[in-house]
Each structure stands twice: as C-alpha cells, then as structure tokens.
Amino acid sequence: MSPTLPLRTGGNFPVRRIYCVGQNYAEHVREMGGAPAAGLPCFFMKPPDALLGPGARIAYPPETRDFHHEVEFVVALGRGGHRLTAAEAQAAVVAYGVGLDLTRRDLQAELKRRGHPWELAKSFSGSAVISELVPWNEGLAPTTTLRLEVNGRVRQETTLGMMTHGVGELLEILSRYDTLAAGDLLFTGTPAGVGPLVPGDRLLATCGEARLEAHVADTG
C-alpha cells in the first residue's frame, strides 16, 4: 500500500516515488566545500518508507554522530510523462509542501570520500519529512521565503528564486531519464545553513502556505 500525505483541501495524496536533488543552491554548495557548477543536477531517490508526515516524531538514526537537517521546497505531481517540456512539467504539479531531507552527515562524508553512493546517509526510514500538501494553483513567486527554525531560532532561510534550477527545469531534466507519473514528489534542494540535530530539538519549517512542525526523539 502506498504511503500518503494529507491534502489541505481534504483527502490524501498517494505517494509513488520520492525524488531529490542536491546542490541546487550555490551557497549550500560552498558551505559543503564545493564550487557551484553548471551541468546535470545531482538527483537521488528515497524509498517510500522514508516518508513521515506532519507532526512527525523523528527518530535519531543509528550509526551517526552528526545528524543534519536540510529544509526543502517540495512539489507533488498530478500527472507525468517522458521528455516533458519545462512548461508541461510545471503544469503537472498539483500541490506543494515544505520538507526535511534528513542526513547522516558524517556517513555521507565517508561515502563521498570512498566514491560510494549516498543511500546509507540519505535514504533510511524516516529521512523524508513533509508537511500537508497545499494546492499549487499558479505556483509560488521567486520571492517566496523558505525557512527552518530549530528551537525557535532560524537555521536556514532563503527565497525560491535562489535555486540554481527551478521547478520546471528540474522536472524537464528528470523526465529525460525517467517517466514521471502522478504521485511523484520532488525535493528541490536545500539552502545554506544545514546543521546538526539532537534529541529534544523542535523544528518549524515554512514555505508559502505550507507549514511543518516536527521534533527529534531519542535514538530509534
């Protein structure tokens, strides 16, 4: 049975796949020690059981001592296709939310050093936390703020216009490599300010009308 997310308009959105993109904000690339570069965006995926909904209890995962938050703007597709244009791809979006791409940062660094895939660092159960989904309508302006507060203090803040690749462009590129479909989610990347979480932390993420509250529980 597919996991679902609540829709603000009522009912639930069945989730099919969870796509993510890395290095989509230049300042985050720099804070991670890289240099912004043109070319193919860095796509990866999370399994359906990575999904946690609003009000989530986030279990501190095993095998890490550096568990990080990454706040992201998330879009949900109501239809899909292969080799979509940017306009077709953007028109396929039916809702949006705000999410957390949770990361075992120390493990990710070790995997990068070895030239290995990131799955163990990025794709564990409970690593994709998303708010209820808000109707897309005409989309959000580039000046829309994406923000994460931890224990009442702002940790990450930017505007959607600072993304290197916008929503339509990301989906257009992704649809060249895979056939997108209704139920697909796309995390669009995190801005600068990523940092550690510890048990007891309370998180508030916002973007447009989307709002996500969550807390970090003891080791799961």
Percent with pLDDT over 70 in the chain? 95
The structure tokens listed for 59 are 């279990």
pTM: 0.94
Q: What is the side-by-side order of every strand in the sheet holding 210-219?
A: 56-60, 210-219, 202-207, 145-150, 153-159
Tens-place pLDDT, residues 56-96: 899 999 999 999 999 999 999 999 999 999 999 999 999 99
Contact 118, 44 (CB under 8 A): yes
- Which H or E element spans position 205? strand 202-207
Give per-residue pLDDT as tens, 110-137.
Answer: 998 999 998 999 999 999 999 999 999 9
At the top level of CATH, the class of 4-219 is: alpha beta
Confidence of residue 55 (pLDDT cuts 50, 70, 90): confident
Express each pLDDT in 167-217 by its tens digit: 999 999 999 999 999 999 999 999 999 999 999 999 999 999 999 999 999
